[in-house]
A = this chain, B = another copy of it.
Amino acid sequence: MKEISVLAPATVANVVCGFDCLGFALENPCDEMTVRLIDERKVRIKHLDKFDLPTDPEKNIAGVALLAILDSIDETLGFEVEITKNIKPGSGIGSSAASAVGAVVAANKLLNDRFSPLEVAEFAMIGEQLASQGRHADNVAPCLFGGFVLVRSTNPLDIVSLDFPPLFATVIHPQIEIKTSYAREILPKNVPFKDAIRGWSNLGALVAALSKSDYELISRSLEDFIVEPVRKVLIPHFDVLKAASLKAGALGGGISGSGPSVFMLSENLETAQKVENAMREIYAQTKIDFNVYVSEVNAEGVKIIE
């Protein structure tokens, strides 16, 4: 039986001044998925994890993405999927994007790379839409391509892989629930023009700084005056966490996706570990359960492992 296994990494979207367009991939955590070709036009899903996710393919992110592939082809074939999710749904580090990308990439490999990378991204976006209720690619694209990815436009899809220097992320996931719909609802409909200008000045500078390996400019550019002020109230101790991370040497960071995870970027692993310690110390004083991940920015993206 033909089968393909993949590791689909967690991703950070809404990278500070790159709200709704900039994301990057992590080395860990990763979802593990095995996809097999079957000889019925069906998608069968089996979860090997503890998250009790729906196995009805129309209600499952990987399932919806695979059904979209089936819709686009004529052959009598289908997919059987085993999923071990290590990225907790709702954590704000691209859990749904990993499900969608992993499934589609494995399926495309089973179909001998029939679809182009942009087509693969489109199928994955259809899957992810089940979770995010919108057409977004800023988790899907870095999960698929790795590194820092800028989504210039989703319609038509226009994805730009950025040059970037070695960077290490520290991500804390406080185990609280933030409804993505509520996090969207509190976003402003309009923003002061001067804040928009500060926003694009910072993102332009960040893209330049990444390509020039200018860590000081990366740090100065990681500013957001629009979304962070309204969303940080959803995350307990955000300001303290950020201040302690910067004090520990982080270049900067902010809310990952729509939260509750918070990420910080550092120039090297040692600093990222100091940031981890600073974060742990703060959350250890609370009653909130949490995980912390330290990971180099993953240049490769989703990986086929067999």
Contacts and interface: CB of A to CB of B under 8 A. Distances in A.
Nearest to A227: B193
A223 to B, nearest CB: 9
A190 B192 contact: yes
A197 interface: yes
A188 B199 contact: no
B17 A200 contact: yes
Contact of A150 (B162, B198, B201): B201
A10 interface: no
A189 B195 CA distance: 10
Contacts of A197: 19-21
Interface stretch (A152-160, A259-267, A274-282, A295-303): A152-160
B201 A204 contact: no
Contacts of A209: 160
A41 interface: no
Contact of A204 (B22, B163, B192): B22
A206 to B, nearest CB: 7
Interface residues of A toward B: which range? 35 or more
A104 interface: no
A201 B18 CA distance: 8
A202 interface: yes
A217 interface: yes
Contacts of A208: 150, 160, 162-163, 207, 211
Contacts of A211: 163, 207-208, 211
A191 interface: yes
Interface string A170-198: 00000000000000000111111101111
A110 interface: no
17 contacts: A20-B201, A150-B201, A150-B205, A152-B217, A152-B220, A153-B220, A158-B217, A163-B208, A163-B212, A189-B193, A190-B193, A191-B191, A195-B196, A196-B226, A203-B203, A204-B207, A207-B207
Given A18-B200, A196-B200, A199-B199, 6 more contacts: A152-B202, A158-B220, A160-B204, A160-B208, A163-B208, A211-B211
